[in-house]
Structure 1
Amino acid sequence: MTRELPPVRTVGPGTDLTPDEAAAVRALAAAAHEHDGVEALGEQTLLDLRGGAPVRHLLLAPPPHAAPSHGRPAPLLGYAAVRHADDGAAESAELVVDPAHRRRGAGTALLAAVRAAGDPPVWAHGNLPGARALAARAGRAVVRELWQMAVPLPAPGAASGTAPEGVVVRPFVVGQDEEAWLRVNARAFAEHPEQGRMTLADLRAREAEPWFDPGDLLLAEQDGRLVASVWMKVEPGCSAGELYVLGVDPDAQGRGIGRLLTARVLEHLADRGLREAVLYVSADDAVAVRTYERAGFTVARADVQYR
């Protein structure tokens, strides 16, 4: 069936998608999310559609006989994104196939294009059966696991604990705190392949998102110096809030600041009337997993990388 498909078209790196192409990718991702119950493309990949990112876009158009999907035209049968490091090496990829046209070779064609583009590890959000089958056919194995953990929120007004001596928690101020936050974030996530590389442009892009609220980004300072932060993400109309990023400067770890900020998140989200808190954490980050388990979080799903 793969030979009946049009060839995969490559855009970038160094060239951005057109607005219509980016809109087609977003529509494809939305259809897959609706069908699967799990997002097909991660937040960074969707932000990269705006342009200016070191990304190779792989586009698979439908054959002429393809039927519309979910009551809409299907401008794309599938899409893959290959993100490149500063040295040009391919470091990670994601792919999605239109739900109405799966099991017809599109995933195989996209994976072959990913392989030709540097063969980086490929994310599979939710590790759904189709992703597992595609990986098995391609001889790929899981090399990284990211857990989504969740906890029902307590009643509004739940106690958040006492701050360690000298630690003050305050909201983020746009236009004032970006550079300090980036420094601590880089130190806290020095070994993290994505979060630790966040730039000012990446931060500004998130500040421009509809969900961004500076009151949902809390900074912990000790003697006037930023030592930790916790960022919450609440999508408009959603009943769950995400503990988006929690980072503690290595010099300030072991003082209970991470536990304090985790508790503040649960209090903050509960006071907003939300029903559940979720977060993502590397399965092999034993210290963070223990912190979240003590707060009542349990594993809800796993995202994995195949290589």
Structure 2
Amino acid sequence: MTSDDVAPALEPGRQITTHDALSPEQVADVLDLLAAADEADGVHAVSEQGRLYLRHGSRAGVRHLLLTVGPRLYGYAQLEETDPVEAPAAELVVHPAQRGRGHGRALGTALLDASGKRLRVWAHGGKSAARHLAQVLGLTLFRELRQLRRPLVPLDIPEPVWPEGVTVRTFVPGQDDTAWLAVNAAAFAHHPEQGSLTQRDLDDRMAEPWFDPKGFFLAERDGKLIGFHWTKTHAAEQLGEVYVVGVSPDAQGGGLGKALTATGLRHLAAQTLPTAMLYVDADNTAAVRVYEGLGFRTHEVDLMYRTES
């Protein structure tokens, strides 16, 4: 949610349409809008998952809202209703040149109507304008996602120490998909996004230009997958990412997660990337403590707001 826009006045010609899927031309227009907002705001207005939903065709439970004035696209919102328990989740953005005209509030109101007044909305970067819009829409803060960073030069991390009987190799697409999805679901059973990934979600990510199985590490014991560290490279930003580290519940507590994290960081450093980043929920104090012990510090925060009902 990125908008400095809370004015209630209507703008002549404004229209909001809802789509289950967008045409290639509409996708291109939305991506142009997102690029302009990213440059102006210094953060991504729509998450990686949202951009995958945008680019990879129709997905059950995902809707796209386009705000236009005449032929021009001024705003975009995405509503995801895939969680069987949690309220629908949304992201919204208004073109930087078109803010202050009520478009953000109009999109937010449309999202509330579409979700039956049961809604969660991300404010990436936690900008003050987005916080104000959330307040105007009657939403309250309930989740803080931190982006942590640390330098990779020098890499002052000890060699990983593996629990007894553990071996490490890299991911083989098509061979390891099912086992990885199962361990990921178990490791993140209580995580609202990561734990629900499907084969299609994995396929979408493997189709991305950044995907490199050489940076996707699997830990096994007796031939059974028990943990993993999937790294990601953001070439344009010269950032390496601890994309996701997961350990099977029956293998937790033995230092496997720390060893996997160190392995991935060493791989990223070997790519001559100067900085590493990761995302972690602020209330996951155990993980925050581990990452801070590895030299990570908070760089920025994403906030999620929700309706009270």
Scaled by the length of structure 2, the TM-score of the pair is: 0.91
- Counterparts in 2 of 1:86 and 1:269: CA distance versus 1, 3 Å: closer
**CA distance, structure 1, for counterparts of residue 162 and residue 86 of structure 2:** 43
Q: Deviations over 1:215-239 (max 9, x none)?
A: 1110011121100001111023331
User: Which residue of the other structure, out of 84, 88, 91, is the alignment partner of 2:88?
Assistant: 91
Amino acid at match of 1:77: Y
Taking only aligned residues, the RMSD between alpha carbons, in angstroms, comes to 1.7
Partner of 1:196: 195
| C-alpha displacement of 1:56 | 1.3
| C-alpha displacement of 1:265 | 1.8
**CA distance, structure 2, for counterparts of residue 9 and residue 170 of structure 1:** 48
Amino acid at match of 2:223: G
Partner of 1:143: 142
Amino acid at match of 1:17: L
**CA distance, structure 2, for counterparts of residue 89 and residue 58 of structure 1:** 21
* Mapping of residues 1-307 of structure 1, within 5 Å: 2-5=9-12, 6-12=14-20, 16-49=21-54, 50-53=56-59, 54-63=61-70, 75-85=72-82, 91-118=88-115, 119-155=118-154, 159-307=158-306
Q: Is the 8 A contact 2:157 2:294 kept in 1?
A: no
Q: Is the 8 A contact 1:156 1:273 kept in 2?
A: no
Q: Is the 8 A contact 1:162 1:260 kept in 2?
A: yes
| C-alpha displacement of 1:305 | 0.6
Q: Is the 8 A contact 1:152 1:277 kept in 2?
A: yes
| C-alpha displacement of 1:285 | 0.9
Q: Is the 8 A contact 1:2 1:109 kept in 2?
A: no
Q: Is the 8 A contact 1:90 1:117 kept in 2?
A: no
- Counterparts in 2 of 1:296 and 1:144: CA distance versus 1, 3 Å: same
**CA distance, structure 2, for counterparts of residue 303 and residue 157 of structure 1:** 28
Amino acid at match of 1:185: N
**CA distance, structure 1, for counterparts of residue 305 and residue 33 of structure 2:** 22
Q: Is the 8 A contact 1:243 1:265 kept in 2?
A: yes
Amino acid at match of 1:177: D
Amino acid at match of 2:77: A
Listed as ranges, the gaps of 5+ residues in structure 2 are: 1-7
**CA distance, structure 1, for counterparts of residue 157 and residue 290 of structure 2:** 18
Q: Deviations over 1:80-105 (max 9, x none)?
A: 00001265985200000000011110
User: What secondary structure is seen at the aligned counterpart in 2 of 1:111?
Assistant: helix
| C-alpha displacement of 1:262 | 1.2
Amino acid at match of 1:52: S
| C-alpha displacement of 1:157 | 9.5
Q: How many residues align?
A: 294
Q: Is the 8 A contact 2:15 2:69 kept in 1?
A: no
**CA distance, structure 2, for counterparts of residue 30 and residue 246 of structure 1:** 29
Runs of 4+ in 1 over 6 A off after TM superposition: none
Q: Is the 8 A contact 2:62 2:82 kept in 1?
A: no
**CA distance, structure 1, for counterparts of residue 284 and residue 87 of structure 2:** 24
Q: Is the 8 A contact 2:109 2:137 kept in 1?
A: no
